[in-house]
Structure 1
Amino acid sequence: MTTPPTGRLPALLRRARRIALPLAVAASLVPVGAAQAHDTSGSTLVRTDNGWVRGAATAEGRQFLGIPYAEAPTGSLRWRAPKPSADWAGVRDATRYGAYCAQNTYWAPGFEQQRITEDCLDVNVYTPPTGRHSAAKRPVMVWIHGGGNVGGTARDIVPDAFARRTGSVVVTLNYRLGALGFLTLPGAGGNFALLDQQQALRWVRANIGAFGGDPGRVTLAGESAGGSAVCNQLASPASGGLYRAAIIQSGTFGNCAGTPREQAVASSLAFAAGLGCTEPATAADCLRAKSAKEVLDAQASAGRSWGYTIGTPQLPVQPADAFASGRSSRVPVMNGATSKEGLVFAYDSFDRWGNPLTAEAYPAALSAAFGPEAGARALARYPLSAYERPSYAYGTAFGDRLFACPALAVDPLLAKRGKVYAFEFADRTSPLFASLPQNTDFDFGATHAAELNYLFKPYGIAAPFNAEQRALADQMTEYWGSFIHGTPPRARGQQAMPEHGSRPGQVLQLRTASAGGNVSTGTLSRQHQCDLWNAAR
């Protein structure tokens, strides 16, 4: 049986989720062209189950933004399962994004102010050019954004070019965040973020055909907290049949483990008590009377991480146990991480504040992060002599512990219920993610979320690639695209992404040509010191 996270792991997750937020924050609106009734790339007027929407034609195809899939979860609907969207009259404008889901401020662009809007449960749909005579339905990818379960939005990545190049329809979705999405209260249930994602998938099943997508060929995908959501959806009985494949990017931290219900209820009641709602039986109704700002202000000072609750109808057992016992969706999965996940977390912990980690403080930092015993062992495994800066040593250990080794550990569990294809993004020359500071000499390399540059346009900004990086981006788009189309991940002229059942322990490293190109390797467990971190769990 897989044990839930230790007392120290939530602290690591809080740190990871804090920095994951700016790596998934929204950018300003991407300009869209004026809606056109007739266009060779397909009609911008589409009938959904709830009414007509008018999107926009772009250079990449079509986009339909801010379409509601559920009613606003406010008032009596707060901390309840999402209610399907009501119908509307006339034609709904779908050329602008909807609201951010309620969330607190952060230092990254787009998060300069607290967002208190709860009417945010909507989707964005991107389609490639269809041509006048194209009748074939296209495969669909549904993307769940990251942001540490406390921030981010469906507009964080713009996948229009990805949709065109892969010949797929891409849907991005919003879901409730923080306390509004993850509290578990007596009489109210929990896992509202998970339920939102499932409602969005049901919307896709009912409506995507009108946009040219095939509801029978849906791939569920996400990165960071979004990847963790995918991991949990695989283990949720309620999501069965809503998708045919899944992609997890940097999302298996803690082996995807959630919080046991008893513990989740206790921490949720403590949160409620902090807002003056001290009676367990009436805590949910009491909190519904609070403003979103009051909830967010309490959340900002709570000092806790937010995740899914285990021992509920949505998640009866820990995801790893569901995988190991075969009690999970039997669909093919792509699973992977980046080679230097932790560098951005090290930067956020030290260098960003003008307080770089020193050699003298390095041992104490390891002990604080991993505990005295594991910290002492990590000191020997990650000696400062092997790194240019103490922050690089700390970040390498942090990334190995929280991301790289869990990804490798979850692969054989996933393989018990279906095919699993393993990858690691390892381009150390990767351009900086758009929210990272551009004027620092800190070498982020292939850090957390770096691979998103190679697939999408984070914040609508195309990465400034050189020729080698562009070639790698093309190859990665082919790997992802072929998988979405229903075949094993492959790219022309490149090694196939290894499948764990036939090639246990093999992982495809994604690298530029001058760094050796894409290559299958079985040494990542040793490279990431996984014997140390697996023993420390």
Structure 2
Amino acid sequence: MRKRFMMQRFVRTTRRGRGARGRIRRAASLAVALAAGAAVSLVPLPAQASGGPAATDGTLVRTTAGWVRGESTAEGRQFLGIPYAQQPVGALRWKEPRPAKAWDGVRRATAFGNRCVQSASWDPGYENPSHTEDCLDLNVYAPKGHRSDRDRPVMVWLHGGGLTAGAGEDVVPDTFARRTGAVVVTVNYRLGAMGFLAGAGLDDEASDGVSGNYGLLDQQAALRWVRANIGRFGGDPHRVTIAGESAGGRSVCTQLASPTARGLYRAGIVESGAYGDCAARERERAARDGAAFAKKAGCPDTGTALACLRGKSAKDILAAQAGFDWGPVVGGAFLPVQPEEAYEKGTAARVPVLNGANSDEGTLFAFAQFDGQGRPLTAEQYPGALTAAYGPELGGRVLKTYPLTEYASPTHAYAAAVGDRMFACTALRMNTALANRGPVYAYEFADRTSPPFASLRDLDTDFDFGATHVNEVQYLFKHFGLASPLDAEQRALARRMVQYWGSFIRTGVPRADGGPAAPDQRTRPGQVLSLRTASAGGTTISTTVHAEHRCGLWDTVPAQ
């Protein structure tokens, strides 16, 4: 999803001045700190590294490429900015990732690495674009313990951002790691045109003849790094769960269908990631997009386009990528068939999956389109907005299915249709398809009193976002490294959610103290674990989610 860019414009005009200035100052300080820490810092290997005082706290670890020194925190140990592959610069731009080169001495792992190439956005700390291709790093968060302990479950988190934005640092899961006893890895991967350009002469270089999947191949390279190294941080390489939200969740549902990812994980978590039924771009369309992009970037000659594009600066590539749909490409060894087909035919990975969405996904996007632009949708405009979005025939059906009398405002009615079609119903369909190949546990985050996530908190608006897209992330992790203003009931729900997620990571089955067992769709199809605060009924099993989200309508039309 492109939520970062959809809202950037109105954020600039609706933030309170004082909050915006304070955030800019904080972002500037953060940028200086990151720039200072981004350079490779190597120090001579201490004599006591083999077991003396410098190694006893578990912050000195030897990876397959060399030693790294992290730091000890109140929550455990953390190792930031570790390269997992050679950086995709120069001749390696638009190449499949290669293992990281070895280094001498000890590499300091106490600052995040560079973010991959992306535009500025409205998220905290993203006020400036990144033009840095040296970005294939990951971060490891581990509970306190000796490096010889290698039995902790592992979660590898893939960030959201529409496959065009974001970074592994978007969540800080140190408290989650401590509470669950897991080792958590967060990953950077190539984005936008850098990660998903197809055609333009690249098919001749792709190992399976199909270009365009560099960002997801980066994710697989990170998983291979985890398999080879995570035991030295206390993790069990045979108990790896891949997880992500939004585009990160879409990445997980793609990796589930990828034969080349087989054996790199044993479970998957998909949060709001089933939009579009996880469909990849067809090869022909991706090639057309690649040719159009090359022309826009000033490289129209098909015979020389690739060399021309490799000669362009990252800034030029970023400027040309707007307006294209960047994502994985189907065909070839990486993704032979569409994920939905792999699920239905049972050829996808036969691993447990925790899959779900939020009850009010669409409010974020509808607000960005209307109220956030200073143009709230009116009752008179509502029918026309539906026709513009869905066409006359389907728009008329949507108008009857989402009457204004049932919603707080026309924008909220429009939001309900957007969220149901894009997220709620696609998640339920994915549950049904996944049940053909193994355990799948369904959830819905439904705390409609949840505070807006960090990017929305300074907006000068009383718009009711409810349990919107992204909002569940702050219940699991420190979103953008920030504490969330949860009340006592919400903190209790957050602890329960961490228990469910932690149980799934440890055992493959989501359980929580005092909470109902999450329903397995193989034996309890259509039942969903509804995550709510105590005053809203608490966490229960719902049998009405399909009807509540009008999926009887949306299951009859193609997903967006």
Same fold? TM cut 0.5: yes
Conserved in 1, the CA contact under 8 Å of 2:65 and 2:100?
A: yes
Q: What's the counterpart of residue 260 of structure 2? A: 238
AA at the equivalent of 2:231: G
Return closer, same or farther for 1:474/1:53 CA change in 2, 3 Å cut-off.
Answer: same
Moved more, 484-493 or 36-45: 36-45
Conserved in 2, the CA contact under 8 Å of 1:41 and 1:128?
A: no
Q: What's the counterpart of residue 65 of structure 2? A: 50
TM-superposed CA distance for 1:224, in Å, is 0.0
SS at match of 1:496: coil
Conserved in 2, the CA contact under 8 Å of 1:21 and 1:150?
A: no
The answer as to 2:123 corresponding to 1:101 is no
TM-superposed CA distance for 1:252, in Å, is 0.3
TM-superposed CA distance for 1:140, in Å, is 0.2
- After the TM superposition, which parts of structure 1 deviate over 3 Å for at least 4 consecutive aligned residues? 13-23, 26-32, 35-42, 132-136
Of the three residues 428, 431, 443, the one matched with 1:411 is 431
Return closer, same or farther for 1:40/1:164 CA change in 2, 3 Å cut-off.
Answer: farther
Count of paired positions: 518
Q: What's the counterpart of residue 163 of structure 1? A: 177
RMSD between aligned alpha carbons? 2.4
Alignment of 1:288-299 (within 5 A): 288-299=310-321
TM-superposed CA distance for 1:304, in Å, is 2.2
TM-superposed CA distance for 1:107, in Å, is 2.8
Of the three residues 454, 468, 483, the one matched with 2:504 is 483
Q: What's the counterpart of residue 8 of structure 1? A: none
Of the three residues 414, 417, 420, the one matched with 1:397 is 417
Q: Following the alignment from structure 1 to structure 2, what is the Cα–Cα distance between the partners of residues 230 and 22?
A: 31
AA at the equivalent of 1:532: L
Q: What's the counterpart of residue 483 of structure 2? A: 462
AA at the equivalent of 1:160: D
The answer as to 2:519 corresponding to 1:505 is no
Q: What's the counterpart of residue 76 of structure 1? A: 91
TM-superposed CA distance for 1:15, in Å, is 6.7
Q: What's the counterpart of residue 15 of structure 2? A: none
TM-superposed CA distance for 1:464, in Å, is 1.5
Q: Following the alignment from structure 1 to structure 2, what is the Cα–Cα distance between the partners of residues 386 and 506?
A: 24
Q: What's the counterpart of residue 79 of structure 2? A: 64
Of the three residues 179, 192, 204, the one matched with 2:226 is 204
Which deviations, in whole Å up to 9, do the C-alpha atoms of 1:414-458 show, x marking residues without a partner?
A: 111111000000000111100114332011110001111110000
Return closer, same or farther for 1:392/1:184 CA change in 2, 3 Å cut-off.
Answer: same
| TM-score scaled by length of structure 1 | 0.92
Alignment of 1:346-425 (within 5 A): 346-425=366-445
TM-superposed CA distance for 1:14, in Å, is 5.5
Of the three residues 286, 302, 324, the one matched with 2:308 is 286
SS at match of 1:206: helix
TM-superposed CA distance for 1:41, in Å, is 8.8
Conserved in 1, the CA contact under 8 Å of 2:122 and 2:455?
A: no
The answer as to 2:198 corresponding to 1:181 is no
TM-superposed CA distance for 1:135, in Å, is 3.2
TM-superposed CA distance for 1:402, in Å, is 0.3
Q: Following the alignment from structure 2 to structure 1, what is the Cα–Cα distance between the partners of residues 389 and 75?
A: 45
Conserved in 2, the CA contact under 8 Å of 1:20 and 1:148?
A: no
AA at the equivalent of 1:144: L
SS at match of 1:123: strand
AA at the equivalent of 1:509: S
SS at match of 2:379: coil
SS at match of 2:507: coil
TM-superposed CA distance for 1:312, in Å, is 2.5
Conserved in 2, the CA contact under 8 Å of 1:20 and 1:147?
A: no
Q: Following the alignment from structure 1 to structure 2, what is the Cα–Cα distance between the partners of residues 20 and 370?
A: 25
SS at match of 1:501: coil
Return closer, same or farther for 1:82/1:253 CA change in 2, 3 Å cut-off.
Answer: same
TM-superposed CA distance for 1:534, in Å, is 1.4
Conserved in 2, the CA contact under 8 Å of 1:14 and 1:305?
A: no
Q: What's the counterpart of residue 148 of structure 1? A: 162
AA at the equivalent of 1:45: L
Identity across matched positions, percent: 57
Which deviations, in whole Å up to 9, do the C-alpha atoms of 1:332-358 show, x marking residues without a partner?
A: 000000000000111111111211111
TM-superposed CA distance for 1:38, in Å, is 5.1
Return closer, same or farther for 1:371/1:220 CA change in 2, 3 Å cut-off.
Answer: same
Q: Following the alignment from structure 1 to structure 2, what is the Cα–Cα distance between the partners of residues 437 and 64?
A: 30
Conserved in 1, the CA contact under 8 Å of 2:10 and 2:373?
A: no
| TM-score scaled by length of structure 2 | 0.89
